[in-house]
Amino acid sequence: MRSLMSVFVASDGRDPVAPPRGLEAGILLRDLDLITLMASAGSIQAPLALDLDSVEGLNPDATAARFVIEELGVDLVVTRRPTVALQAVELGRSALLHVLAFDSTGLARSLEGHPRTPGIGTILSPGPVLDHLLPPDLQRLPRPLVAYGFIDTPGRAVGLLRHADAVVVPPACALEMARRASLDGLDAVAGRG
């Protein structure tokens, strides 16, 4: 798997998309339509991840994975479909299988279909669940592991990085993380400064 940024800024692509100055981050496009995706993807100068299942007007299948990788330059495909994740890896990119963890049985069911193939990690929603998983459950999650959803403060984001390899944050949180890091370093971002 290619190097994974530790922070991704979530965006619907409707406003100009870039990580805030001072924060090394990628962009995760989600909840957008195909036209907005095509307009946004070409202008993004950061590592680009895409929640393929959330693009209106694009059937999230292997053909769509090929299109977004080859034509739009997507580096990382997020999907709930194992076959789509496998297609992304076959095309030389990385993928994250989206796992919903609202309860332990849902987590177990979601993981049953995980391909457990090199190049395919896990994106877990909601992200703060990671703080409540037992070590055996954490060990079952194929890496890299990304926390996604309900991560709205710099302290929470940095705290989740104890368990996860990366977090997805909204733009306001990313801006605050960059501001705190530029003032006081990483300890301030985590709320320890």
What is the model's pLDDT at position 105?
Answer: 74
pLDDT score of 185: 60
pLDDT tens figures, 105-131: 778 887 888 999 999 999 999 999 999
* Each residue's pLDDT tens digit, 169-182: 999 999 999 998 87
How is the chain split into domains, by residue range?
7-102+114-131+139-189
Contacts of 114 (CB under 8 A, 6+ apart): 82, 97, 99, 120, 122, 142
pLDDT value of residue 102: 78
DSSP H or E segment with residue 8: strand 7-11
Two tokens, residue 138? 């954490």
Judge contact between 138 and 163, C-beta under 8 A. yes
What value does the mean pLDDT of the chain take?
Answer: 91
39 near 59, Cβ under 8 Å? no
pLDDT greater than 80 at residue 193: no
Structure token pair of residue 169: 């944050």
25 closest CA partner among 40, 43, 46, 44: 46
- CATH code, residues 7-102+114-131+139-189: 3.20.20.70
Give the position of tokens 């703080």: 131
The predicted structure's pLDDT at residue 17: 83
Cβ-proximal residues to 59 (8 Å cutoff; 6+ apart), any chain: none
Higher pLDDT, 94 or 181: 94
Tokens found for residue 148? 């996604």
At residue 189, the pLDDT reads: 55
